[in-house]
Amino acid sequence: MGGRPALGIPLAVTEPRATPPFLLRDPARARALVDFLHRHAPPEMVRIVHVCGTHEMTIAENGLRSLLPSGVEVLEGPGCPVCVTPTVDLDRAVKIAERGAIVCTFGDMTRVPGTRVTLAEARAQGADVRVVLSAADAVVVARKNPDRDVVFFAVGFETTAPGTAAVLLDDPPPNFSVLCSHKLIPAALDALMATPPTRIAGFLAPGHVSTVIGAAAYRAVAARHHVPIVVAGFEPLDILYAIALVLRQVREGRAEVENGYPRAVSEEGNLRAQELLAMAFAPCDAVWRGIGRIPGSGLNIRDELARHDARHAFSVQAEEGEDKPPGCLCSEVLLARAVPTDCPLFRDPCTPLSPVGPCMVGSEGACSVWYRYGERPHL
């Protein structure tokens, strides 16, 4: 994690576990961190990108952008798993549901547009689409319906993928399968840095993903692209502290991985969760909505578990379709090149109740967050 103490930066919430909870919302520490940011902001424009809907909610809900120096901007990249799930996977899920299987998935996924219909619209037309909170819930549905095929449409990053792996490895019933659309965060950071024009000065890495993969998982990306990466927690002070660490690296010309969330994230991560992932899945190339195909950024179910792979069980074909409606700027938002208010469709007609693009559908999507918290450019 760079091996450097956080000298010069007001200590925020970096003490592992011993930090009393009230310090997480300490105004004096917040003021000290903001002072630090203003005193140490580099003279050039600095764009910091996070890839986490929860980070965006913390930033927006607490007005953190209004506290930043004028040359520092923080944007959400492809941090919403619902938003980055491509139409080709959605279309497969719809086709499987239309063939009579029970399709289980997370609530937001039922509202994301596919090429023809959403899963919610398929349900309105008679398909059996159910909202669950986890892969384990979908197994319960399968056990209760032994005469029906039950498919869990699995989306999400390294945070949710171990839960899917655990279910696959726990001898699920024969009528249960997984349509796997899990994605991997380090590969996405790699792709953002490799997609010109690159104006990203540093990343905030998502704390929950990092609890699984460990801070060390970002080291190759930081070195390959000479870009600072700081693991960040979810409290306002966590975010301000992580931004301070990025700015310090920028000023000092360093590009290292630093852990700004040591009370939850270790260097090596959760080895048992990583073991489950390796047993159930093999890395594969994957299509991200609005971004395209990213090498090594997805997870395929291993051949040994193919009997529970919905792609084999149903062999439905789907074409890579149009990932965003005309006029929608989701691609630019997901690539951290635009903010939601840059889109002419923001708010009229695109709202969470009648979303035009995927970034307004997922509750963690940047457009949805900005709409809910007031759509101010410097929120």
- Shortest distance, position 330 Cβ to ligand SF4, whole Å: 4
CA 54/CA 156 separation, integer angstroms: 13
- Shortest distance, position 65 Cβ to ligand SF4, whole Å: 18
Pick the closer one to ligand SF4 by CB: 296 or 325: 325
**The dihedral of CA 354, 113, 344, 81: what is its sign?**
positive
Q: In degrees rounded to 5, what are phi and psi of residue 86?
A: -75, 160
Pick the closer one to ligand SF4 by CB: 280 or 350: 350
Residue nearest to ligand SF4 (CB): 357
User: DSSP secondary-structure letter at 233?
Assistant: -
Pick the closer one to ligand SF4 by CB: 162 or 362: 362
**Furthest C-alpha separation in the chain:** 66
Pick the closer one to ligand SF4 by CB: 239 or 329: 329
- Shortest distance, position 347 Cβ to ligand SF4, whole Å: 7
- Shortest distance, position 52 Cβ to ligand SF4, whole Å: 18
Q: What is the enclosing helix (H) or strand (E) of 238?
A: helix 236-252
DSSP states along 311-361: HHHH---------S-TT--HHHHHTTS--GGGSTTBTTTB-SSS-SSHHHH
Question: What pairing do the DSSP bridges indicate for beta strands 281-288 and 292-301?
Answer: antiparallel
> Tokens standing for 60?
């927006």
Query: What 3-state class would DSSP assign to 171?
Result: coil
- Shortest distance, position 107 Cβ to ligand SF4, whole Å: 18
Pick the closer one to ligand SF4 by CB: 298 or 340: 340
- Shortest distance, position 112 Cβ to ligand SF4, whole Å: 11
Site residues (CB under 6 A) for ligand SF4?
328-330, 333, 340, 343, 345-346, 350, 356-357, 359-360, 367
| Amino acid identity at 207 | G
Pick the closer one to ligand SF4 by CB: 49 or 229: 49
Pick the closer one to ligand SF4 by CB: 156 or 290: 290
Residue ranges of the alpha helices (H) in 81-218? Answer: 81-84, 87-98, 119-124, 135-144, 161-168, 185-194, 207-213
- Shortest distance, position 155 Cβ to ligand SF4, whole Å: 17
